[in-house]
């Protein structure tokens, strides 16, 4: 499989370049040359297949030019090492729990798969690989955990001071080894901007081999298709399935749409956001108007300029009318989200995190006759204790997170300027 930049569809690179370079020099994003359509019989047999077996079939077309099937199997064994159960919330809505991995968020899927691929590719490179990653919450922890201890890879994480939850911060700052955390005096968009500038900076790129681990890296999107297939396999009602994706940078959503383009019979998708509703607004009006992000209780979705939107457009050849046949957009306030968490818990006993609750609200407002809804529960609710505790009495904390709270944190206070990142890199390495 070859890959092209969304800004120059006529120029192709191989998987190694797309993954290690992350971001094409023209400011576009890499996309696979084609999204192969799998036979209907594959999807009919999903219920009899294991999670790893379906993952193998879904990712082979994208990897087989660079990896043998034994290598692909090893990569999947590392990345798909925990389940993603579909749990009924009420009669019409089920929750796909994507938080059973090491950092309790769905980003473990993408990060572990990407780390497995990069760890293999970098062995044949003359230099070490430096991963730069901006995080609004869970990316940093998942990336840090995925790359921890991998040879020839150094990770630098940028996160906005005071805008990630205390437990998320602990997951970024307690690992040590090849992982460094920069606590940036700014917003997530500032962090993302600093990383984007780094990839365009001549001096940094001459000195270091840089790669991104954000959802802009195509290797993170590929494994995120797996759990959509696994959700379909587990669903009792397979007709008219509607999947609501709580979205920020829209990597998760893009992966779902790629799975649909490969033939996965999902009826339609919902892009669910907090008040950072740039994509729902586009879907409803045709106008894409990125703007500074606003802080909310579902902070992993506080994104004002969603990077994967370019890929969504690319999948639909830029045609709004075609995109809205597959995806509709809904947005909710923090007040609505909190009420929803309490209401659903009171009625069903099920506890959703603030991100999953936004998706639940969208399903509630959107499900039509005969449709069944699946919300993606993208993180364990305990990752958002300050929000959850006042809402749910006697809220239990998983042991893993309680232990983390005791660990000492290491980070570098950093102004929200690209130059600060640059001098950190030159001083540190
Ligand atoms: C990252 C994240 C999201 C948003 O995912 P995108 O792929 O960036 O749209 C939603 N929920 C949680 C818990 C996350 O960590």
Question: Which pLDDT does position 202 carry in this prediction?
Answer: 95
CA dihedral 115, 35, 23, 305 (to 10 degrees): -100
Q: How far is ligand 1, taken at its centre, from the CA of residue 300, in Å?
A: 5
pLDDT digits (tens, 9 = 90+) for 369-398: 999 999 999 999 998 888 999 999 888 888
Residue 215 has pLDDT above 80, yes or no: no
Question: Which pLDDT does position 274 carry in this prediction?
Answer: 98
129-134 and 153-160 beta bridge pairing: parallel
pLDDT digits (tens, 9 = 90+) for 74-90: 999 999 999 999 999 99
Atom number, ligand 1, closest to the C-alpha of residue 356: 11
Residue 184 has pLDDT above 80, yes or no: yes
Closest C-alpha to 213, from 166, 150, 127: 150
Q: What does the angle CA 248 – CA 251 – CA 255 come to, to the nearest 5 degrees?
A: 140
pLDDT digits (tens, 9 = 90+) for 352-371: 999 999 999 999 999 999 99
* Number of C-beta neighbours around residue 13 at 10 A: 17
Ligand 1 first shell, C-beta below 6 A: 105, 107, 137-139, 215, 246-253, 300-301, 355, 378-379
SS (H, E, C) 57-106: HHHHHHHCCCCCHHHHHHHHHHHCCCCCCEEECCCCEEEEECCCCCCCEC
Atom number, ligand 1, closest to the C-alpha of residue 224: 7
Question: Which pLDDT does position 107 carry in this prediction?
Answer: 93
Question: Which pLDDT does position 166 carry in this prediction?
Answer: 83
Question: Which pLDDT does position 358 carry in this prediction?
Answer: 98
Q: How far is ligand 1, taken at its centre, from the CA of residue 301, in Å?
A: 6
Q: Mean pLDDT across the stretch 310-338?
A: 97
Ordered structural domains, the chain, with CATH = 83-104+220-397 (3.40.50.1100)
Residue 276 has pLDDT above 70, yes or no: yes
Question: Which pLDDT does position 332 carry in this prediction?
Answer: 98
Tell me the C-alpha distance between 155 and 195, whole Å. Answer: 12
Atom number, ligand 1, closest to the C-alpha of residue 303: 8
Atom number, ligand 1, closest to the C-alpha of residue 137: 15
Nearest CA, atom 1, ligand 1? 300
Q: How far is ligand 1, taken at its centre, from the CA of residue 302, in Å?
A: 9
pLDDT digits (tens, 9 = 90+) for 281-320: 999 999 999 999 999 999 889 999 999 999 999 999 999 9
Q: To test the ligand 1 pocket, which listed residue (140, 309, 378, 388) has its Cβ within 8 A of the most ligand atoms?
A: 378
Q: To test the ligand 1 pocket, which listed residue (101, 107, 157) has its Cβ within 8 A of the most ligand atoms?
A: 107
Strand order across the beta sheet in which 412-415 lies: 209-212, 129-134, 153-160, 179-185, 412-415
Q: Mean pLDDT across the stretch 194-199?
A: 92
pLDDT digits (tens, 9 = 90+) for 33-53: 999 999 999 999 999 999 999
Residue 344 has pLDDT above 90, yes or no: yes
Q: How far is ligand 1, taken at its centre, from the CA of residue 11, in Å?
A: 30
Question: Which pLDDT does position 165 carry in this prediction?
Answer: 81
Tell me the C-alpha distance between 306 and 189, whole Å. Answer: 10
Q: How far is ligand 1, taken at its centre, from the CA of residue 123, in Å?
A: 30
């Amino acid at each position: 499989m070859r890959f092209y930049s969304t800004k120059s569809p006529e120029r192709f690179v191989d998987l190694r370049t797309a993954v290690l370079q992350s971001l094409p020099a023209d400011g576009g994003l890499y996309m696979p040359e084609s999204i192969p359509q799998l036979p209907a019989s594959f999807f009919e047999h999903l219920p009899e297949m294991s999670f790893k077996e379906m993952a193998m079939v879904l990712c082979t077309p994208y990897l087989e030019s660079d990896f043998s099937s034994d290598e692909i199997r090893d990569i999947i064994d590392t990345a798909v090492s925990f389940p993603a159960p579909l749990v009924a919330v009420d009669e019409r809505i089920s929750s796909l729990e994507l938080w059973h991995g090491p950092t309790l968020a769905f980003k473990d899927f993408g990060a572990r798969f990407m780390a497995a691929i990069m760890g293999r590719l970098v062995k044949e490179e003359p230099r070490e690989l430096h991963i730069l990653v901006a995080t609004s919450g869970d990316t940093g922890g998942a990336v840090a955990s995925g790359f921890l201890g991998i040879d020839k890879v150094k990770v630098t994480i940028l996160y906005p001071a005071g805008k990630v939850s205390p437990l998320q911060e602990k997951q970024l700052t307690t690992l040590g080894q090849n992982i460094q955390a920069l606590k940036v005096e700014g917003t997530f968009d500032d962090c993302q901007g600093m990383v984007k500038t780094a990839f365009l900076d001549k001096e940094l790129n001459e000195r270091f081999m840089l790669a991104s681990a954000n959802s802009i890296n195509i290797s993170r999107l590929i494994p995120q298709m797996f759990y959509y297939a696994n959700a379909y396999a587990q669903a009792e009602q397979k007709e008219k399935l509607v999947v609501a994706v709580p979205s920020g940078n829209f990597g998760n959503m893009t992966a779902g749409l790629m799975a649909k383009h490969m033939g996965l019979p999902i009826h339609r998708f919902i892009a669910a956001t907090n008040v950072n509703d740039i994509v729902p607004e586009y879907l409803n009006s045709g106008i894409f108007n990125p703007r500074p992000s606003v802080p909310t209780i579902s902070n992993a979705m506080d994104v004002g300029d969603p990077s994967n939107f370019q890929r969504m457009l690319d999948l639909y050849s830029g045609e709004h009318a075609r995109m809205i046949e597959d995806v509709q957009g809904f947005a909710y306030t923090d007040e609505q989200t909190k009420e929803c968490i309490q209401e659903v818990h009171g009625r069903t006993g099920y506890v959703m995190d603030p991100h999953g609750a936004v998706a639940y609200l969208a399903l509630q407002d959107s499900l039509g006759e005969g449709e069944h809804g699946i919300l993606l529960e993208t993180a364990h609710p305990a990752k958002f204790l300050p929000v959850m505790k006042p809402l749910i009495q006697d809220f239990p904390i998983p042991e893993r997170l309680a232990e983390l709270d005791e660990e000492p944190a290491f980070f570098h206070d950093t102004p929200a300027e690209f130059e600060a990142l640059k001098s950190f890199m030159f001083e540190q390495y």
